[in-house]
Structure 1
Amino acid sequence: MSTDISSPVRTRFAPSPTGFLHLGGARTALFSWAFARHLGGTFILRVEDTDVQRSTPEAVQAILDGMAWLGLTHDEGPFYQMQHMDRYREVVGQMLASGQAYHCYSTPEEVEAMRELARAEGRKPRYDGTWRPEPGKTLPAVPAGRDPVVRFRNPQDGEVSWNDLVKGPIAIANAELDDLIIARADGTPTYNFCVVVDDWDMRITHVIRGDDHVNNTPRQINILRALGAEPPIYGHVPMILGPDGDKLSKRHGAVSVMQYDEQGYLPEAMVNYLARLGWSHGDDELFTREQLVSWFDGAHLSRSAAQWDPKKLNWVNAHYLRQLPADELAARVAPRIVARGGVIEGNAPLADVLALLAPRAETLEQLADEAMLFYRPFDPSATPPELVEQHLTPEARALLREFAADTAEIDWTPEALSAAMKTLLARHGLKMPKLGIPLRVAVTGQAQTPAVDAVLALLGKNIVQKRLHNI
């Protein structure tokens, strides 16, 4: 992506509020945001809400929430296309007056018949220009009571070309493009026309978007040039594929980015991971938001589709979990523990518990789940019967009572508890599992925990002694 730019950079993210902010949209927003930030430009949020039947306030809020969670702050907007209808109609009127657009009275059925005939004759299916004004051409009589659409008078000769920032030079013969409808019969403007007018009015210099928009680009360029506007620089990034190589779908994880918040992923990790889906900076896999902005000059955008990898995301997220200061990590996990019914106050210090658990955790949700060991009410009767039968045998119970007696007066530290366990095991000639697993089951109700000496120390002397005496 060239940075030799004479005018200030202005990028935009323009989602349609017909659902949540999905991963592909979030990546497009991230690239547009990072490029604008890198060049000290302006990042604009524009909500393309002209699909009245499908656009909802809830979807708009979902987009805003997703952007806010990722930290992709916009400098202008959000702008809403439905609030600009008068402007679109004004430009349509200007184009009709100048001959750049014309009224077309063909019905959808008639247009489909034109396309069927073209297919039958081996031609590209398209509108045949019945109502397109030409010098010396006599147009059909206007049908009574029929409202026309407005079509753009696309050039018929030459080609439209652009140097795509991702795909390189692209050229499309104008003969391949039919006359696009820019306003429907009820007067409402169409998507491609609204986009053109908005990009023109908002002085957009760079458009980074998914490559499903490539077919729209030549049409939009031609309309912009007809309006006397300089088209922005376009970059079309390939789609994100699922782990199996198919298009990313809900079964792969193509859900709202806010669901990743619910699942315990950090926005810092998601920004890092999304940036690497279709862009690279050498071999760097882990980088801060500041480094991304510093590096993102638009070069090194991949021409090939990126592949979603949940394991890689977990690895990145685990890295960021370990980078968080203890108090900040505790602040992010605490609400999740409370939501599970855990009681933090009066129990083990959360920062100490997380210091024990975080090295092997991948998400905030996993941390909250494992931290409940220390914050849920303990009910011995809820311990799975098979664990009690297997591990709390009469011999094991006698060993646990002996351990309780041995530790009644010691300093309650992991080191002292570990020493007491080793002494007891040596006394009876036993291996650690003979004591460690019964201890876990008796004190926590589960057979697997982090290091048992650390768990006992965090639970506290009074709680551990009470539970051992009650077995």
Structure 2
Amino acid sequence: MKPIVRFAPSPTGFLHVGGARTAIFNWLIARKLHGKFLLRIEDTDRQRSTEESIRQILEGLNWLGLNWDDDIVFQSARNDRHKEVVEDLLANDHAYRCFCTPEELESKRLYAEQHKINKRYDGTCRKLSREQISEFLERKMPFSVRFKIEEQKTEFTDLIHGRHQTDLTDMDDFIIQRSDGTPVYQMAVVVDDHDMGVNLVLRGDDHLSNTPKQILLYKALGWSIPQFGHLPLILGKDKTRLSKRHGATSVQEFRNNGILPEALFNFLCLLGWNPGQEQEKMSREEIIDLFEVNRINHTPAVFDEQKLAWLNSRYMVEMPFDQLLFHAEKWCKDNQYSLRPDEEERFMFYLKIIQVRSKTLTDLYDFLKIYFDSPQIYDEKGVQKYFKKEGVSELLKKLRGTLSSLDDLHFDAIDKLDGLIRQFAAEHNLAAAKVIHPLRLALTGRTESPGIFELMHILHKDKVISRIDSAVDYINNL
């Protein structure tokens, strides 16, 4: 039987990397075994669910390349169906109406606590006669609906953790429908998974305690029980659950930080899954081919942001040039930068140089700013080390004079620029570095950049001289 899996996020915030990993693993199962990957938005919490969160979740899944099959199911649109199934459970004596008020339930809880007895619901309304129920309904007394637990235990084989058994003797007859007529999570999930044909549920460990209740519902309704698998948590480096205090935790944040979708996809696949080989950078097709549920670890995975940065840098360096150009051109368009025809060849050369230096798209964009924008601020350490040295202003003025006397063609040859700067330094009895470092700071505002001679060629005469002039003005005002 081909697997039908689903990803069912609640739209109460951004797509967390833990949720993204769950979606990826489900997607891999479906693509590996030619099944279906379905998407359900669990938006029954109307107060916390937002359209913006739905948009962010869908955008995040699309950005990661997780295409889903069939139409999106919105849980909130299925309330009538949930109620219908609750009525079936009531009609078949698998559930009962509970007329206990919140105050009465709290009183029962306190009594149990004081007398050190089991705190489970005492079944008061389970014992009501038909006449009593009819009377309460006639009086329009509010009620919730509880599932009637008849079994002593549940057992199932978890795809990741193996055999799992739960003792039900201390479990409440749990509520499946609130007093306002809305279903609780357990009820809605079981109905929706059944109706969508889901036969394999792979989700986080935090849902493990829900599974016994859901199995009871499946049995009572006479429906086929899907396979269950529960993914261990993702931890921060301090081995606590990954949260905002560890840094970025949402797909959108990593996207904003310049991480590539293929790098984050690859990285999240390796969080808790062992491909059975040492190679870590893998294409989507290779991962699909290697993926097996039985290779998912049963212990939590640690989110190593340094490893993600390393993996992303590999993807950046090996990115096909046409893809790199696409990112650069989009950034230029978004920021209203344009090239003159005579700049295009040098710009392409610059892209090839900065590609190997860019660990993220953010790095790439920062390097692009060097090309288009004169420095507005200068690196503070660089200012202290190079601009505040005695005679630097005069040195840059003299260099400006030398460069302005050259024709434009001189800037087309990197080796000529190299020779000129070194000759200029020698004529002033200086090591070449004494000229190169303040010149780099003047041209870029930074102490590190692509090679200075390549940069002079790329920026060309007018930009080089203009930036030296600005730096001299800045130094003179220190």
Q: Do both share a fold (TM > 0.5)?
A: yes
Cα separation, 2, equivalents of 1:166 and 1:149:
35
Question: Contact 1:373–1:444 (CA<8 Å) still a contact in 2?
Answer: yes
Q: Which residue of 2 aligns with 1:394?
A: 394
Q: For each residue in 1:15-55, what CA deviation from the matched residue of structure 2 results, as whole angstroms up to 9, or x when unmatched?
A: 11111211111111111111111110000001111111211
Q: Which residue of 1 aligns with 2:431?
A: 431
Q: For each residue in 1:167-210, what CA deviation from the matched residue of structure 2 results, as whole angstroms up to 9, or x when unmatched?
A: 11110022132211111112211110000111111121111111
Question: Contact 2:403–2:465 (CA<8 Å) still a contact in 1?
Answer: no
Question: 1:225 is matched with which residue: 201, 219, 222?
Answer: 219
1:290 to 2:285 alignment: yes
Cα separation, 2, equivalents of 1:236 and 1:350:
50
Cα separation, 1, equivalents of 2:440 and 2:407:
16
Q: Which residue of 2 aligns with 1:77?
A: 71
Q: SS state of the match for residue 208, structure 2?
A: helix
Cα distance change of structure 1 residues 443 and 231 upon mapping to structure 2, 3 Å threshold: same
Cα separation, 1, equivalents of 2:443 and 2:184:
66
The aligned amino acid for 1:460 is: H
Equivalent pairs counted in the alignment come to 463
Q: Which residue of 2 aligns with 1:452?
A: 452
Question: Contact 2:43–2:76 (CA<8 Å) still a contact in 1?
Answer: yes
1:262 to 2:262 alignment: no
Cα distance change of structure 1 residues 216 and 385 upon mapping to structure 2, 3 Å threshold: closer
Cα distance change of structure 1 residues 108 and 351 upon mapping to structure 2, 3 Å threshold: farther
Structure-to-structure mapping, 1:31-50, within 5 angstroms = 31-50=25-44
Q: Which residue of 2 aligns with 1:301?
A: 296
Q: SS state of the match for residue 165, structure 2?
A: strand
Pairwise CA RMSD: 3.0
Q: For each residue in 1:333-356, what CA deviation from the matched residue of structure 2 results, as whole angstroms up to 9, or x when unmatched?
A: 344355556544554644322211
Structure-to-structure mapping, 1:162-241, within 5 angstroms = 162-241=156-235
Q: Which residue of 2 aligns with 1:374?
A: 371
Structure with bigger helix share is 2
Q: For each residue in 1:437-470, what CA deviation from the matched residue of structure 2 results, as whole angstroms up to 9, or x when unmatched?
A: 1322444444432211111111124433565688
Cα distance change of structure 1 residues 247 and 358 upon mapping to structure 2, 3 Å threshold: same
1:440 to 2:440 alignment: yes
Q: Which residue of 2 aligns with 1:147?
A: 142
Identity rate, percent? 37
Q: Which residue of 2 aligns with 1:331?
A: 326
Cα separation, 2, equivalents of 1:452 and 1:223:
70
Cα separation, 2, equivalents of 1:409 and 1:337:
27
Cα offset for 1:223?
0.5
Cα offset for 1:165?
1.2
Q: Which residue of 2 aligns with 1:354?
A: 351
The aligned amino acid for 2:312 is: N
Cα separation, 1, equivalents of 2:288 and 2:109:
48
Question: Contact 1:20–1:63 (CA<8 Å) still a contact in 2?
Answer: yes
Q: SS state of the match for residue 361, structure 1?
A: coil
Q: Which residue of 2 aligns with 1:58?
A: 52
The aligned amino acid for 2:325 is: A
Moved more, 379-388 or 279-288: 379-388
Question: Contact 1:327–1:351 (CA<8 Å) still a contact in 2?
Answer: no
Cα offset for 1:245?
2.1
Cα distance change of structure 1 residues 398 and 380 upon mapping to structure 2, 3 Å threshold: farther
Cα distance change of structure 1 residues 463 and 297 upon mapping to structure 2, 3 Å threshold: same
Q: Which residue of 1 aligns with 2:246?
A: 252
Cα separation, 2, equivalents of 1:123 and 1:284:
56
Question: Contact 1:337–1:372 (CA<8 Å) still a contact in 2?
Answer: no
Q: For each residue in 1:234-256, what CA deviation from the matched residue of structure 2 results, as whole angstroms up to 9, or x when unmatched?
A: 11111111222222222223543
Cα separation, 1, equivalents of 2:393 and 2:212:
77
Q: SS state of the match for residue 244, structure 2?
A: coil
Q: Which residue of 2 aligns with 1:278?
A: 272
Cα distance change of structure 1 residues 10 and 303 upon mapping to structure 2, 3 Å threshold: same
Q: For each residue in 1:353-385, what CA deviation from the matched residue of structure 2 results, as whole angstroms up to 9, or x when unmatched?
A: 221112122211121112211111567999997
